[in-house]
Amino acid sequence: KAGVTQTPRYLIKTRGQQVTLSCSPISGHRSVSWYQQTPGQGLQFLFEYFSETQRNKGNFPGRFSGRQFSNSRSEMNVSTLELGDSALYLCASSLRGWTDTTRELFFGEGSRLTVL
Amino acid sequence: DAKTTQPNSMESNEEEPVHLPCNHSTISGTDYIHWYRQLPSQGPEYVIHGLTSNVNNRMASLAIAEDRKSSTLILHRATLRDAAVYYCILSGKAAGNKLTFGGGTRVLVKP
């Protein structure tokens, strides 16, 4: 069974631009979460979507947004990029949604964004 | 969100057991303890989770203190492939069941 697929794997942007990252969850998984990983802050939760609705949100500014489509694929968007947005963005999918405390997350390999 | 405290790093010899401690003194009664690990250049992967009783699976064992304020992940026979950052995470309904990762423990396995 195919794992979580994230595209693109690497990208370079300049300050002020915007970026869209894509995540295809494991087939049958309806929940998609997004995380930002940086050397200084570690892994930080961005948001979670289930059945096309945002269910959980982390402490990030409004420049960070996301959406989920009817086929459970998800995209996240970062507008007006700043140097500090350089990070590895990880997507995770799960079979069960945010109400299940024991659910297992399956992570993709991430999209590495560099902002110049 | 309830927080966890882990040592920054640990070393182990190959084929020896590794005991990774985690303190979570502010855990609530319904919080689950999860462990994930992140191998180099990969996303995190699930290892194990538990609530009150000790748990075993093919990857590891989880020993939970009776007062639940600490837990220990046990890798029974470390291999070179087990070199990774191991994260101890609490999740509970009060925080929307989201996983809040801390700094983790970097495990180095020596041949």
Q: In the prediction, which pLDDT does A94 show?
A: 95
Residues of A in contact with B103 (CB under 8 A): 42
Question: Nearest CA of chain A to the CA of B101: how many Å?
Answer: 6
Q: Read off the pLDDT band of A102 (50, 70, 90).
A: confident
Please give the distance of CA B23 from its chain centroid, rounded to a whole number: 10
Task: Kindly identify which residue of chain A lies nearest to residue B87, measuring between CA atoms.
Answer: A43
pLDDT mean over A30-53: 94
Please tell me the predicted confidence (pLDDT) of residue B1. Answer: 60
Euclidean distance between CA atoms A18 and B109, whole angstroms: 41
For A45, which of B45, B93, B99 is closest by C-beta distance? B99
Dihedral Cα B71, A94, A36, B20, nearest 10 deg: 20
pLDDT digits 0-9 by tens, A44-93: 999 999 999 999 899 999 999 999 999 999 999 999 999 999 999 999 99
Mean pLDDT along residues A28-42: 94
Q: Does any CB of chain B come closer than 8 Å to the CB of residue A48?
A: yes
Letter string b/e over residues B2-24, b meaning 16 or more CB atoms within 10 A of that residue's CB: bebebeeebebeeeeebebebbb
Across the beta sheet with B70-75, the strand order is B18-23, B70-75, B61-64, B55-56
Span A27-41, average pLDDT: 95
* Partner B contacted by A92 (CB < 8 A): yes
Query: Strands of A5-7's sheet, edge to edge?
Result: A5-7, A19-24, A74-78, A64-68
Query: CA angle, corner A67, sides to A65 and A68, nearest 5?
Result: 155
pLDDT under 70 in chain B at which residues? 1-2
